[in-house]
């Protein structure tokens, strides 16, 4: 599991995830003395198994990060209360930097972007409901069925229960066998954005087009909470998931190489964003 930490030093505040499962450190926000933070990260990585550093940087921090060996992998235009964040990454091992599927993912992206954008769908046949604490067992069962590997332990009902209590919204569709499709929006109330994530449908139901309707339902819930920046980080090898977000009006913002373990291996992830206020 990820270990969240807030670093406070003289003239420095930073919010950090130490993600041992995916062998990475992610800095979600840094204010103040960036030089001190980079030194702390460098010292920590000398005696740790981490292979990748990711910093969500503001415009004013780009040049210093580039000068320190970080590469620009993508951006979210409205992440920080309407201002931009840049995904700046540093690779600590050659094999973590080299993607095996980059050209294939480029071809998938090009094909997806030829599809028509249609962010307004007619209501589906299946009812979508906002999941509650009584749904955590069913959600955990769905995620266990769909994912061999996932960046967070969604197969654990306690994890899902804790996520709900911390403000994550889950929506789902139920069939005869229980929950057959679900997705969530993880809300960052401080910065007023939300990550669309945890998208899963049982294999026998994947021709039903459920995910588009689930995402639109989440967008409605976010608008009611005054959240206008919605983004997702989708498997670059998944034609279906990238097509869903493109067709719903999300814009491609970049690709994170060898970002996390998902499905059955370490994978590259595409960034998509939508301004719900437009």
Q: Mean pLDDT across the stretch 107-114?
A: 98
For the entire predicted model, the pTM comes to 0.95
Positive/negative CA dihedral, 137, 142, 146, 152: negative
Cα 151 → chain centroid: 10
End-of-domain residue from the set 97, 116, 137: 97
Q: Please state, for a pLDDT cut of 70, what percent of the chain lies above it.
A: 98
Helix extents (H) in 51-208: 62-67, 94-97, 102-112, 136-146, 157-165
What CA–CA distance (Å, rounded) separates 108 from 79? 26
What is the total count of domains within the chain? 2
Contact status, residue 248 vs residue 119, Cβ threshold 8 Å: yes
Q: Please indicate, yes or no, whether residues 91 and 17 belong to a single structural domain of this protein.
A: yes
Contact status, residue 97 vs residue 51, Cβ threshold 8 Å: no
pLDDT at 40 over 70: yes
Residue 3: pLDDT band with limits 50, 70, 90? low
End-of-domain residue from the set 67, 97, 127: 97
Could you list the residue range(s) of the whole structural domain that residue 216 is in? 102-275
Q: Please indicate, yes or no, whether residues 88 and 202 belong to a single structural domain of this protein.
A: no
Q: Check residue 218 and give its pLDDT.
A: 98
Q: Please indicate, yes or no, whether residues 141 and 208 belong to a single structural domain of this protein.
A: yes
What CA–CA distance (Å, rounded) separates 253 from 234? 11
Q: Please indicate, yes or no, whether residues 241 and 106 belong to a single structural domain of this protein.
A: yes
Q: Please indicate, yes or no, whether residues 140 and 66 belong to a single structural domain of this protein.
A: no
Domain of 188, CATH number, reads 3.40.630.30
Q: Check residue 1 and give its pLDDT.
A: 38
Name the region of 209 (left: φ>0; alpha: ψ -120 to 50; beta: rest).
Answer: left
Strands (E) in 10-152, as ranges, are 12-19, 24-32, 52-57, 71-80, 83-91, 128-130
Least confident among 80-94, 109-123, 248-262: 109-123
End-of-domain residue from the set 82, 97, 112: 97
pLDDT at 210 over 50: yes
Span 134-163, pLDDT tens digits = 999 999 999 999 998 898 899 999 999 999
Q: Please indicate, yes or no, whether residues 82 and 48 belong to a single structural domain of this protein.
A: yes
């Amino acid at each position: 599991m990820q270990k969240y930490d807030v670093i406070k030093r003289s003239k420095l505040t930073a919010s950090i995830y130490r993600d041992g499962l995916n062998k990475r450190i992610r800095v979600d926000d840094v204010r103040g003395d960036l030089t001190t933070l980079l030194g702390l990260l460098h010292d920590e990585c000398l005696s740790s198994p981490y292979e990748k550093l990711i910093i969500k940087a503001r415009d004013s921090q780009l040049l210093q990060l580039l000068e320190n060996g970080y590469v620009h992998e993508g951006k979210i235009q409205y992440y920080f209360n309407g201002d931009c964040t840049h995904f700046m990454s540093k690779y600590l091992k050659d094999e973590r930097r080299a993607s095996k599927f980059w050209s294939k993912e480029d071809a998938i992206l090009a094909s997806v972007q030829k599809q028509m954008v249609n962010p307004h769908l007619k209501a589906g046949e299946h009812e979508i409901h906002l999941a509650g604490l009584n749904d955590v067992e069913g959600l955990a069962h769905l995620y266990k069925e769909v994912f061999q590997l996932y960046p967070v332990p969604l197969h654990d009902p306690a994890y899902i229960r804790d996520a709900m209590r911390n403000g994550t919204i889950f929506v789902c569709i139920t069939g005869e066998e229980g929950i057959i499709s679900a997705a969530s929006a993880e809300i960052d109330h401080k910065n007023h954005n939300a990550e669309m994530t945890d998208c899963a449908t049982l294999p026998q139901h994947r021709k039903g087009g459920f995910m588009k309707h689930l995402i639109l339902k989440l967008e409605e819930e976010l608008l009611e909470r005054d959240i206008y920046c919605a983004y997702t980080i989708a498997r670059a090898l998944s034609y279906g998931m990238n097509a869903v977000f493109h067709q719903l009006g999300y814009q491609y913002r970049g690709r994170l190489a060898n970002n996390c373990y998902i499905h059955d291996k370490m994978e590259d992830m595409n960034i998509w964003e939508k301004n719900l206020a437009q």
